């Protein structure tokens, strides 16, 4: 039946347009390609010869090998000759993408070659089999149309030979492809792929681009202005927007987000050419920002399995204003050092030192790493939380064998076990560095075995014999910007699931427990802050009075003479002694205050520093020398307050300002308050202050002459245990 259908479809073998319609396919890796082509965008025209050669060599190393009884096509072991230009980044990316696409459809492509009688009827050397596979994929991807050849390109004999062979079998190849689609009941060979692979490629086609700002070369504001001049508008979200827009990431202040379709345009602007903006996956930016949050000014950093050198550069840029040094271990070949130094120089990085030893071979007591306080561990992982495996392989891994796992949508149990064991060994080794105080562990995996499984096991079996505090799991140091992120981080792990806006990411922060013998009290914190000048204008309270006397007897202050400091402390001590006797003299104070002349009351009310209360209750916020004096002298009070603030240490008795006269508080008369008011009646005349302090409540009901004041506020509500604070 399949043969009859094929004969009807290909009755006119000379009709190229009909062949193209029968063999039309959706591009693997971009489900929207067909739609794009229907809108008038140009069709694919093929790759340069050097890309086919490099893709064939990559495919040769990652292809699936079959058992001898099932082998239909033999692959040679000899690699094809590559040109020097194949080392270019754009050539590498194109070659890996082509090899990965051929790997996903290896079984189908081999079946098409057998069905079309190319194998075994033709005598083609075995070492060209890989080249045939990758070129056949591109041939059907172009709907069997001719390849566009550049005049400036040097042709390669092997590529020309294979291309001529495929062109001669064009009709039979199209027929074999049509039969394969009918057999699998699929609209295209893309729909034959596993669902996990299709979903992964769907995300890859729409995933936004992330780029971090090189703040050593340009400020964020300058980047925004430059992009705006080029027609890019700043928005809150770039999802489902086809215009030239960008947004600022919520987790990393120096990371910008662009729609995926703008990549080719962005690569051609100066911001990217001059390393002012650098494309990189967001998970790596999250890792370096987590390290930055744990650093002090002079702490060094050890980076393990960095993958992309852009990650190292980003860490260097974030610590540019510090005296930190970044150690990068695991660089196997010293031949790369000149290229790396040249790259770092172009990016403005100055604090990077490369270590050529493997991480597990570095001793924890290495003299070079004695100032390392934070270790950033980016272990090799399955990476199945990443949507674009080619970018992941190029930027983070040199092991192209992981493309096999991506092509199948999962990792085998044996390989996953090997990765988990490597991750555990590296994490436990990082925890042995006695000077380090934190370890940041970050992966792009979705497997719990590689994430929380490794961390929990390392914490459980960490060595408690060494004379350092053990590690504990700490909460994320990154902001949680949604309820989903908060829910995913309830167990102190930071997780981002693969979605249409970001790749998957797992991040864990381990910090050493605080040594109980080094516990710092609140008094010590305040004392240190005062010694550093962080508490200028604020006097320490009663709790630190004795300590301050002891310290001042040993360490003279450079800002003020010793006599002035002792005088201040003596006055504070006298003030506290008077306050301790305030309750005993309440009745005497009450009688004294009720007989105060109106003139003195007015004078006290006009002071911009202290408002003398008219209520007949003792209040600890009011200085005692004001209470026990029958004839107060305003000029002496003012002098005392000036003396209590040497060196511009503002207002040792500043809380006195919030003591409000009862006539200014518009409280309603309640039974609880009335019970505390004396039975006799008082008549006052209140004159408002010339300068209203911001802490005063507005009082529309100031008592006039001859009027009764409103009920007083209970003294218990106004008491303050340390009024000089």
Structure tokens at 321: 């204003």
- What are the residue ranges of helices labelled H in 624-663? 624-627, 634-643
Nearest to 111 by CA among 173, 200, 22: 173
SS3 content of the chain, % helix, strand, coil (to 5): 45, 10, 45
Paired with 505 in beta bridges are 496
Tokens of 93: 């990316």
As given in the structure block, the two tokens for residue 243 are: 């215009």
Residue (of 353, 343, 278, 281) closest to 319 by Cα position: 353
Catalytic residues: 444
DSSP for 336-347, written as a single string:
GHHHHHHHHHHH
120 prior amide bond cis, ω within 30? yes
Q: What does the block give as tokens for 249?
A: 């990431």
Three-state secondary structure string covering 518-569: HCCCHHHHHHHHHHCCCCCCCCCCHHHHHHHHHHHHHCCCCCCCHHHHHHHH
Q: Which helix (H) or strand (E) holds 386?
A: none
Rounded Cα distance, 403 and 362, in Å: 30
What region, left, alpha or beta, does residue 553 occupy, with left being phi > 0 and alpha being psi -120 to 50 degrees? alpha
Pick from 188, 710, 100, 714: nearest CA to 405: 100
Place of tokens 């042709």: 155
- Residue 397: phi, psi to the nearest 5? -140, 150
The Cα-based distances of 207 to 371, 412, 482, 501, 512 in angstroms read 39, 26, 19, 6, 37
The DSSP secondary structure of 286-354, one letter per residue, reads HHHHHHHHT--TT-EEEEES--SHHHHHHHHHHTTTS---EEEE----GGGHHHHHHHHHHHT--SEEE
Distances in Å between the Cα of 174 and the Cα atoms of 21, 109, 144, 165, 628 are: 10, 12, 8, 14, 110
Indicate if the alpha-carbon torsion angle 538, 541, 545, 551 is positive or negative.
negative
CA 392 → CA 54, 63, 344, 396, distances in Å?
A: 18, 19, 21, 5
In contact, 196 and 409? CB cutoff 8 Å:
yes
Phi, psi of 557 (to 5 degrees): -80, 140
- What spatial distance separates the first Cα and last Cα of the chain, rounded to whole Å? 96
Distance CA 431, CA 436 (A): 8
């Amino acid at each position: 039946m399949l043969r009859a259908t094929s004969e009807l479809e290909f009755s006119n073998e000379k009709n190229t347009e009909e062949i193209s319609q029968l063999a039309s396919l959706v591009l693997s890796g971009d489900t929207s390609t067909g739609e794009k082509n229907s809108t008038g965008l140009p069709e694919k025209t093929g790759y340069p010869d050097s890309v086919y050669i490099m893709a064939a060599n990559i495919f040769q190393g990652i292809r699936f090998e079959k058992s001898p009884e099932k082998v239909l096509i033999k692959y040679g072991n000899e690699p094809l000759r590559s040109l020097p230009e194949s080392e270019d980044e754009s050539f590498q990316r194109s070659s890996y993408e082509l090899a990965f696409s051929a790997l996903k459809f290896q079984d189908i492509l081999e079946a098409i070659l057998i069905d079309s009688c190319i194998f075994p009827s033709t005598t083609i050397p075995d070492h060209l089999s890989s080249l045939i596979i990758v070129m056949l994929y591109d041939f059907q991807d172009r709907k069997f149309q001719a390849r566009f050849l550049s005049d400036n390109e040097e042709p390669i004999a092997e590529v020309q030979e294979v291309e001529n062979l495929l062109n001669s079998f064009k009709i039979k190849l199209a027929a074999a492809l049509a039969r394969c689609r009918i057999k699998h009941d699929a609209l295209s060979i893309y729909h034959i792929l596993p669902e996990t692979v299709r979903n992964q490629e769907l995300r890859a086609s729409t995933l936004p681009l992330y780029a971090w700002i090189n703040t050593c070369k340009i400020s964020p504001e300058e980047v925004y202005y430059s992009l705006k001049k080029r027609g890019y508008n700043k928005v809150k979200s770039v999802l489902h927007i086809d215009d030239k827009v960008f947004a600022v990431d919520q987790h990393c202040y120096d990371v910008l987000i662009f729609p995926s379709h703008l990549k080719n345009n962005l690569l051609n602007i100066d911001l990217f050419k001059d390393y002012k903006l650098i494309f990189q996956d967001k998970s790596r930016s999250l890792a370096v920002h987590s390290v930055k949050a744990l650093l002090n000014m002079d702490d060094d950093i050890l980076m393990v399995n960095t993958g992309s050198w852009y990650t190292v550069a980003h860490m260097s840029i974030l610590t540019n204003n510090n005296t930190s040094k970044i150690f990068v271990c695991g660089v196997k070949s010293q031949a790369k050092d000149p290229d790396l130094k040249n790259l770092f120089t172009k990016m403005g990085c100055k604090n990077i030192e490369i270590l050529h030893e493997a991480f597990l071979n570095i001793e924890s007591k290495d003299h070079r790493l004695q100032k390392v306080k934070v270790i950033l561990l980016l272990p090799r992982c399955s990476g199945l939380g990443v949507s674009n495996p080619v970018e992941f392989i190029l930027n983070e891994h040199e092991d192209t064998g992981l493309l096999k796992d991506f092509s199948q949508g999962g990792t085998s149990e044996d390989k996953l076990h090997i990765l988990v064991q490597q991750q555990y060994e590296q994490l436990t080794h990082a925890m042995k560095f006695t000077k380090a105080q934190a370890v940041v562990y970050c992966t792009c995996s979705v497997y719990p075995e590689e994430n929380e499984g490794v961390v929990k096991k390392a914490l459980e079996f960490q060595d408690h014999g060494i004379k350092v505090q053990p590690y504990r799991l700490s909460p994320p140091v990154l902001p949680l910007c949604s309820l989903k992120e908060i829910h995913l981080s309830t167990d102190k792990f930071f997780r981002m699931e693969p979605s249409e806006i970001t790749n998957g990411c797992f991040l864990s922060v381990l910090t050493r427990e605080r040594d109980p013998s080094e516990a710092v009290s609140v008094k010590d914190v305040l004392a240190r802050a005062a010694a550093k000048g962080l508490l200028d204008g604020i006097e320490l309270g009663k709790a630190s009075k004795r300590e301050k006397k002891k310290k001042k007897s040993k360490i003279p202050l450079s800002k003020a003479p010793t006599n002035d400091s002792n005088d201040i402390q003596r006055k504070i001590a006298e003030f506290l002694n008077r306050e301790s006797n305030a309750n005993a003299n309440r009745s005497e104070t009450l009688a004294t205050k009720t007989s105060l002349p109106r003139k003195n009351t007015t004078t006290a009310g006009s002071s911009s520093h202290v408002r003398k209360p008219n209520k007949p209750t003792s209040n600890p916020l009011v200085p005692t020398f004001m209470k026990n004096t029958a004839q107060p002298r305003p000029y002496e009070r003012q002098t005392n307050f000036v003396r209590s603030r040497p060196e511009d240490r503002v207002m040792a008795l500043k809380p006195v300002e919030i003591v409000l006269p009862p006539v200014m508080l518009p409280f309603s008369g309640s039974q609880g308050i009335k019970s505390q008011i004396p039975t006799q009646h008082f008549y006052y005349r209140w004159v408002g202050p010339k300068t209203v302090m911001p802490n005063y409540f507005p009082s529309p009901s100031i008592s006039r002459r001859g009027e009764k004041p409103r009920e007083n506020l209970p003294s218990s509500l106004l008491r303050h245990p340390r009024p000089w604070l």
